[in-house]
Amino acid sequence: MATPEANRPVGATTNRPFSNNRPSAIQTFVTWLWIIIGFIPRLLAYIFRELTTPGTAAAITVGGLIFLCGVLMSADNYWQMWSQQPALFHFFEKQWLGWGWFPTITLNLSRWWFPLNFKMALLTNGNLIFALVISCAVQMIQSAAVRNLAFKSKSIGGISARTIGLISIGSWVFDFIMAFASRSIFQFDDPGMRIGCFFYNLFSIFAAELGYIIFEMMKTPNSPTND
């Protein structure tokens, strides 16, 4: 029996639409349109993933910046008491230094061989360096006491646990005095501001330690779990 294909005259064309796997111009346009529209959300999602994935360069950088901010917030108490200058940060303060104390980088095109100008600002100030050293020393003593309490060590570096405990208590009392003397809660009339200032002072005492914990968390990649 003859098929319709066999009965078709030679040279006659079929009425079937021509189809292939190549996308049409409109399909290509729509695809690129969605790529362009989704570029910013995809970029933000990728940046967020890099910032929140431990072990990545972005996460380590963010952790280091958080630790640096914690150290500066803890040292701010000592800076105010030692130098009798306004605070570094504006939290619960009526006066502060502004951002002029922060390091800056400017561009100097007239100096073609090295066009960048670095201004260290207050970070080269002796009073601030002293405050940073004292704050870090106090934080180290407190961290040693916390580790001793957590791991129940009998001694650290030949120093008995009791001595470490007494030194740590003294450091916390000293830290407490510096925080509340530099930022009095009684400077505010509003009870809510007093409560907020009280908790911020407590936070400033532990800011450097918390910043270091976050840095360690962001630096260490998550180990795969075996289910």
Mean pLDDT of the region 124-150: 78
Residue 30 inside a domain? The answer is: no
Residue 15 CA to residue 186 CA, distance in Å, equals: 90
User: Residue 227 has what pLDDT?
Assistant: 46
Q: Which domain holds residue 191?
A: 62-219
Mean pLDDT of the region 37-66: 87
Residue 79 CA to residue 128 CA, distance in Å, equals: 6
Residue 9 inside a domain? The answer is: no
Residue 95 inside a domain? The answer is: yes
> What confidence tens digit (pLDDT) does each residue in 93-114 have?
888 887 777 777 777 777 766 7
Q: What is the 3-state secondary structure (H, E, C) of 201-221?
A: HHHHHHHHHHHHHHHHHHHCC
Rg value, the chain, Cα: 32
Residue 27 inside a domain? The answer is: no
Residue 3 inside a domain? The answer is: no
Residue 138 inside a domain? The answer is: yes
Of 152 and 54, the structure prediction assigns the larger pLDDT to 54
Mean pLDDT of the region 221-227: 59
Give how many domains the chain has, as a whole number: 1
Residue 33 inside a domain? The answer is: no
Residue 12 inside a domain? The answer is: no
